[in-house]
Amino acid sequence: MLGKGREVEEECVGDSLDLTSLRDGESGRVVGLRGGREALEKLQAMGIGIGAVVAKKSSAARRGPIVIEKGRTQVALGYGIAKGILVEPIG
Amino acid sequence: MRKIVLAGNPNVGKSLLFSRITRTGAATANYAGTTVALDVGRFIFRDEDYELVDGPGIYSLEGFSEADASALRIIGEVDPAAGGVIVDVIDATNLERNLGLTLQLISTGKPMIVCLNFWDETKHRGVAIDVPALERLLGLPVIPTSALDGSGVAELVAALSAARPSPLKLEPAALETEYRWRLIGEIVGEAQRLEHRHHRFLERLSDFTLHPVGGPLSAAIVLVSTLLFVRFLGEGLVNEVLEPLYSRVYAPFVAGFARRLPWEFLSSLLVGRGTDPLGSFGVLTSGIYIALVLVLPYFFSFYLVFGFLEDFGYLPRLAVVLDKMFHRLGLHGYSSIPVMLGLGCKVPALMSTRMLGSERERTLTIALILMSAPCLPQTSMIISLGMNYGVNTVLAVFASLLAIAFLTNLAINAMMRGESSEFFTELPAYRVPKAGLFARKLGRRIAEYFAEVLPMIAVGILVLNVLDALGVIAFITEAIKGPVKALLGLPPEIAPIMILGFLRKDVSIALLAPLGLSSGQFVVASVFLALYTPCVAAFFTLARESGIASMLKVVLLVLAAAILGSSALHGIFAIFGA
C-alpha cells in the first residue's frame, strides 16, 4: 500500500503505537519502520529512522495527512506512511 | 571551463543562488520541487570561466522520480580533473536534516564547498552555528549566504578555488543510516546551539493552516479572496484603464495608420476588417486588444496573488488540505501543485509533473491539468465574453469543466490499476516574499506571455488567410457542419475557430464574439474549445514530457471527453431549454 517497490519490514516492537494513534502535540521515539522501499528511504534520508524523536503536530480529518516535526523540519506524511512508523510515546 | 554543480535538499534556495550568481532568472518558489529540469548558466570570476548547473533537490543519492535522476546525473558528472566542484547548499535553519546528504556527497570523494543558505533567518529562529567548528568537523570550506538578499554570494564564489575533497574518511558503514545519523548528531552537537524561543506569528499561522478545521477554512478563505481579488483588480484595470486607453487613444491612431497602408493584404493582416476590436481580426487591432486589454489585466492580477502564495510557502500546505480529495482521483495532494500551476499556463504545469513518482500519477495529473480548467488567457476571455450573458453562464462553463475532468479522471483511475504512492513532503517555513524578487518573477512571466502571444496571433491569422484562400476552411466547414450542429448545436463557423484555437486558446474564445451565440451555445462552445486539444505549446511540451505515443493517447482521450462532455451539455441545455 505504500507506493511502489517491495514491502520492507525494518524492525517491529511489540506494544508500540503507530504515529496515527499518537495525540496531536505528543512526542515519540521511533522504534520501528515498515512500508515501501521508497517511503522508508526518504524517511531515513530526512533523519526519521529508528531512535529519532518526532513530535506530532497535527492530523487532517478523516485519515488525511499527518504533520510531524523532527528537529526544525516539518514533514507532511500520508496516513498510510504514518501507520508504518511505530513509536514509543515520550513524557 | 570549470563546471560547478549546486546540490542539496529540496527547497534550500539553490535556484535563488543560481539566479544571484549567473544573474539570470531561474524559476523559484517556496516549495519542494520547484526545479524539475536543469538550469545551466555561465559566469566569469577573476578571469576564470565557470559553468554553473542547478538541478532538482534530493534527499539522498538514491533517486525515485525523473527529477531525482537528473540531479544525480549532474552530481555524477562532476569531474575533479577538469576543475569540477560540488557546492553543497544547506538550509542553515535545518542543519541536522541537511547533513544527511552532505555526508553522502563527501563519500563521493569529489571537491566540495558547503554553503549555509538562509543564514539571515538563523538568528530569529534561535539557531546559532559555529562556522569554524563546522569547517573543522567536515573538513570543508563553509560559507554562510543569504540568497534572498544576496549577502555572502560573492564570498561563496571566491571560495570555489578552495574547494577540496573532505579529509573525512567515511567507512562504508558510515553510509548505513543509523551510523550516519549518530555521526550527524555528534557534528550538530558540537557546531550548533539551539535556543528555545517563543512561537512567532508565522509559525502560529502555519499551525493554523494545517489544523483539521483551520486548514480547510483557510483554504476556502484563500480561494475566495484570490478569485475576488483577481476579478476586481482585473476588471478594474480593463474597464477603468485599458479599455478607455484602447478606444480613445490607440484605436483612432491605428485607424489613421491603416488608411495610409498601400498594400491591401498587409492592411488586412495588420488591422483586419471593420472597427470592432474583437471582430476585425488584425494583429494590431484584435491581437493587441485581446493580449493587452482583455488578457493582461487578469494575467497580472492572477500571478500577483499566485506568486505571493508560491513564495510565501502556502502551496504545500494547501496540498495537505486537498490530499483527501485527490485520493478519490487516485492521486495524492502534491498533484494539486501542478494542477494549480495549470490555472496559469499548461506548459510549466506539465513540466512540473516530473516531481511525481509514478507513470500512473503523471498521466492522471496531466489529464487533470489539461481538463480541470482552461489556462489563464483563455479563462480571461471566457470571463470577458461570458459576463455579457451574466455570471451564471461563466460559472456554468467552469462547473462543467470541473465535472468533466472529475469524471474522466475517475474513468482513467479505474482503467489504470495500481495504488498511488502516498503523500510525502517537507513543509517549508512561511517566508514573507522579498519585493524585488517577487517583482522580477512577475515581470518574467509577463514577458514570456508577450513573447508568445503576438507572434502566435500573427501566425494564426496568416494560416487562416492561406487556408481560406486554398478553400480548406470551406471544405472543413462543410464536412463538420452536420456533426457540429447535431452534437453540439453550434454554427459551422466554429471550424476556423477550432484551427486557430490550436495556436492560441484565448483567441479562439474571442472569435466566438461575432457569432451571436445564445448563452447555452456559449457554454458548450467554451467547454469544447477549452478541451478539444491542448494549444500548440502545451502539445509539444506534452510530447517531450511523456513521449509521442503516450502524448497521443492523452490527446485522444481529452478529445473524446471534449466531444462527449460538450454533447452531453448540449443535450442538457436542449432539454431544459437554455
Tell me, yes or no, whether B262 and B183 share the same domain.
no
Region A9-29 average pLDDT: 76
pLDDT in tens, B334-382: 999 999 999 999 999 999 998 887 888 888 999 999 999 899 999 999 9
Do residue A59 and residue B320 have CB atoms under 8 angstroms apart?
no
Tell me, yes or no, whether B231 and B323 share the same domain.
yes
CATH assignment of the domain containing A19: 2.30.30.90
Using a CB–CB cutoff of 8 Å, tell me whether B424 touches chain A: yes
Residue B199 maps to a domain = no
What does the alpha-carbon distance between residue B477 and residue B186 come to, in Å, rounded to a whole number?
75
Instruction: Answer yes or no: are the C-beta atoms of B428 and B316 closer than 8 Å.
Output: yes
pLDDT in tens, B137-160: 999 999 999 998 899 999 999 999
Q: Name every residue whose Cβ is closer than 8 Å to that of residue B68 and which is 6 or more positions away in sequence.
A: B56, B58, B62
Q: Return residues 85-144 of B near A (CB < 8 Å).
A: 93-94, 96-97, 100-101, 125, 127
Mutate to test the interface with B, among A2, A66, A67, A74 (most CBs of B within 10 A): A74
pLDDT score at B175: 63
Region B69-89 average pLDDT: 94
Tell me, yes or no, whether B186 and B244 share the same domain.
no
Residue A39 maps to a domain = yes
Tell me, yes or no, whether B397 and B508 share the same domain.
yes
Tell me, yes or no, whether B449 and B348 share the same domain.
yes
What does the alpha-carbon distance between residue B70 and residue B42 come to, in Å, rounded to a whole number?
19
Tell me, yes or no, whether B459 and B412 share the same domain.
yes
Q: Residue type at B62?
A: E
A29-33, A60-64, B150-154, B433-437: which has the minimum mean pLDDT? A60-64
Do residue A41 and residue B62 have CB atoms under 8 angstroms apart?
yes
| Positions of E strands within B378-533 | 424-427
Residue B205 maps to a domain = no
Tell me, yes or no, whether B182 and B263 share the same domain.
no
Tell me, yes or no, whether B190 and B222 share the same domain.
no
B134-143, B258-267, B281-290: which has the minimum mean pLDDT? B258-267
Element spanning B340, H or E = helix B336-341
Q: What b-and-e string marks burial along B312-339, b requiring 16 or more CB atoms within 10 Å of the CB?
A: bbbbbbbbbbbbbebbebbbbbbbbbbb
Residue B208 maps to a domain = no
Closest by alpha carbon to A35, among A4, A58, A57? A4
Please give the DSSP secondary-structure letter assigned to residue B432. P
The CA distance from A4 to the nearest CA of chain B, in Å, is: 7
Residue A1 maps to a domain = no
Using a CB–CB cutoff of 8 Å, tell me whether B12 touches chain A: no
Please give the DSSP secondary-structure letter assigned to residue B355. G
pLDDT score at A13: 47
Please give the DSSP secondary-structure letter assigned to residue B146. B
Average pLDDT of chain B to the nearest whole number: 89
Do residue B207 and residue A57 have CB atoms under 8 angstroms apart?
yes
pLDDT of residue B32 exceeding 70: yes
Residue A85 maps to a domain = yes
Q: Name every residue whose Cβ is closer than 8 Å to that of residue B160 and which is 6 or more positions away in sequence.
A: B2, B4, B45, B50, B85, B87, B113
Residue B207 maps to a domain = no
Residues of A in contact with B216 (CB under 8 A): 61
Do residue A45 and residue B59 have CB atoms under 8 angstroms apart?
yes
Residue A2 maps to a domain = no
| Positions of E strands within A3-52 | 7-9, 17-18, 27-36
What does the alpha-carbon distance between residue B451 and residue B447 come to, in Å, rounded to a whole number?
6
Identify which of A49, A58, A63 has the shortest CB distance to residue B210: A58
pLDDT in tens, B109-125: 999 999 999 999 998 88
pLDDT of residue B22 exceeding 50: yes
Do residue B94 and residue A74 have CB atoms under 8 angstroms apart?
no
Burial class (CB in 10 A: 0-12, 13-18, 19+), B517: buried
Q: State the angle between helix axes of B201-210 and B315-328 in degrees (0 to 180), rounded to the nearest 10.
A: 0
C-alpha cell at B315: 502551496
What does the alpha-carbon distance between residue B527 and residue B398 come to, in Å, rounded to a whole number?
8
Tell me, yes or no, whether B177 and B246 share the same domain.
no
Q: What b-and-e string marks burial along B234-271, b requiring 16 or more CB atoms within 10 Å of the CB?
A: bbebbeeebbeebeeebbeebeeebeeeeeeeebbbbb
CATH assignment of the domain containing B79: 3.40.50.300
The three-class DSSP label of residue A54 is strand
Residue B571 maps to a domain = yes
Residue of A nearest to B177 (CA): A44
Tell me, yes or no, whether B242 and B167 share the same domain.
no
Tell me, yes or no, whether B376 and B263 share the same domain.
yes
Do residue A52 and residue B181 have CB atoms under 8 angstroms apart?
yes
In total, how many domains does chain B have?
A: 2
Q: Could you tell me the residue range of the domain that residue B168 belongs to?
A: 2-194
In total, how many domains does chain A have?
A: 1
Residue B201 maps to a domain = no
pLDDT score at B407: 93
Tell me, yes or no, whether B240 and B337 share the same domain.
yes
Give the pLDDT band of residue A15 (cuts 50, 70, 90). Answer: low
Q: Could you tell me the residue range of the domain that residue A63 belongs to?
A: 7-90
Q: Name every residue whose Cβ is closer than 8 Å to that of residue B165 and which is 6 or more positions away in sequence.
A: B80, B106, B109, B110, B111, B112
Region A6-12 average pLDDT: 45
Residue B202 maps to a domain = no
pLDDT in tens, A37-56: 888 888 888 889 888 999 99
Residue B538 maps to a domain = yes
